[in-house]
Structure 1
């Protein structure tokens, strides 16, 4: 009859060795995560514009707040650019995910929109072409987006939305509102989901002192309250901020993100039109 040899507890030296190996693995993982964060944040900084263009009678500003969890970066963006025909293009959007891939995809969307906006004047056509471009990249990611075009000659602001949060607007004479989120015909699917998608265009002529504000869902939706309440919070600030500097209004609007308890990144784009 054989006897089992009694097991001996690991020595202090063996335990310290195991602990050292585990610590080294943990540190390596932390360093990899830190490197990914630094890379993604660098991409975010480089891809977001340092300043936005303006035209006589039209001033713009934007604000961005990073995500509070995960890699502390995301795929929200805003952009503004002059077009060859003298009009102004403005975009805001939100890419699925919060990692390096989302930041890279955000850059692809932003650059693609810029390039295609020079080839088509209609915002709906610009989004349709961008959608086909992103589908051809086969990244498996998608993005919501709003693209606006302002014509200084006619004072017309035309816009198309791809699954994005509606715009909020207010005028100095007391009128204000939020685009109807229930009317599906006014908004197409997010970019990168379905080929052949069409994006209807809404048009309005800016005649007086007016503010138009666009946000990503990190501003208006979170654990503390739903989308409708978040939009209402923004609307109150836009009403009170008509006629102020666009940078000041953008700073007031981005504060709503703190009220929602959001964990997503957040972006705000403000367009202020002055009385001719």
Structure 2
């Protein structure tokens, strides 16, 4: 008759060996995750512009803050650059995801948009051609974005929006609002998209603020309520220094309780602009 062998109890040495093995694996995973975080941080830091262009009568300022726990980074971005004809190009966006891939994808969009904006003066075409280029990359990611073109002589601001959150504005004479411009699909969803162009004149002293949804949306705050809160803040600081206003808007983002990263881009304009 065969007797069933009684399972051997794990010895203290066995348990210690298993614990050491699991600890080593956990340490490797933590180190790998930390390496990815540091790489994403480096990409984010290097790809965001160190400075933004300004004109007499126009000052720009921007802020970026990672997610609250400091680990999610790489999704939001902003950009500002001079165009060959002397106009100012501005962009702000939010890439799906927060990791190395998102940071790299953000960089691709930024580079593509800069290159395309140098060959056409139509913001809608800039957005459409950027979208088609992204679609040709066969990426699984997508991004929301707003692109603006400001002519310093005519003071005309033209913009196109790809699924991105609205902007906020306020003027020194007490008016303020949230833009209600029509937009198209986020970049990277469908090819051959049309992006309507909105036009406005910056002929009154005030501020125009672009932002990402991490600034205005949170677990207990709807995006509409968040935008209205920022509108009131911008209205009360419409003639403030651009740097000061950017700080104020980013600080307000903390009140959303968000876990997302956040970006802010401020245009502080006088009634009269001029070429730099």
Task: Give TM-score scaled by structure 2 length.
Answer: 0.96
Query: 1:246 corresponds to which residue?
Result: 242
Q: Deviations along 1:163-212, whole A, 9 cap, x unmatched?
A: 001110000001111012xx7xx111101111110110111111121100
The aligned length equals 272
Q: Show the 5 A alignment for 1:95-106.
A: 95-106=95-106
Distance 1:47 1:193 in 2: 23
**Alignment partner of 1:222 out of 187, 209, 218:** 218
| 8 A contact 2:43–2:74 mirrored in 1 | no
Q: Deviations along 1:1-59, whole A, 9 cap, x unmatched?
A: 22222222111111100111111100010110010000000000000111111011111
By how many angstroms is 1:70 displaced? Answer: 8.0
Query: 1:40 corresponds to which residue?
Result: 40
Structure 1 residue 167 corresponds to structure 2 residue 172: no
By how many angstroms is 1:94 displaced? Answer: 0.3
Task: Give TM-score scaled by structure 1 length.
Answer: 0.96
Q: Alpha carbons of 1:24 and 1:193: their partners in 2 closer, same or farther (altered >3 Å)? A: same
Structure 1 residue 189 corresponds to structure 2 residue 185: yes
Query: 2:13 corresponds to which residue?
Result: 13
Q: Tell me how large the CA RMSD over aligned residues is.
A: 1.1
| 8 A contact 1:67–1:74 mirrored in 2 | no
Distance 2:191 2:5 in 1: 69
Query: 1:155 corresponds to which residue?
Result: 155
By how many angstroms is 1:275 displaced? Answer: 2.5
| 8 A contact 2:124–2:160 mirrored in 1 | yes
Q: Deviations along 1:50-86, whole A, 9 cap, x unmatched?
A: 1111011111000111013583213100000001101
By how many angstroms is 1:257 displaced? Answer: 1.6
Q: Show the 5 A alignment for 1:51-90.
A: 51-69=51-69, 71-90=71-90
Distance 2:46 2:199 in 1: 32
**Alignment partner of 2:255 out of 259, 263, 275:** 259
Distance 2:220 2:144 in 1: 23
By how many angstroms is 1:256 displaced? Answer: 2.2
Query: 1:233 corresponds to which residue?
Result: 229
SS at match of 2:161: strand
Q: Gaps (5+ residues) in structure 1?
A: none
| 8 A contact 1:74–1:264 mirrored in 2 | no
Q: Gaps (5+ residues) in structure 2?
A: none
- After the TM superposition, which parts of structure 1 deviate over 4 Å for at least 4 consecutive aligned residues? none
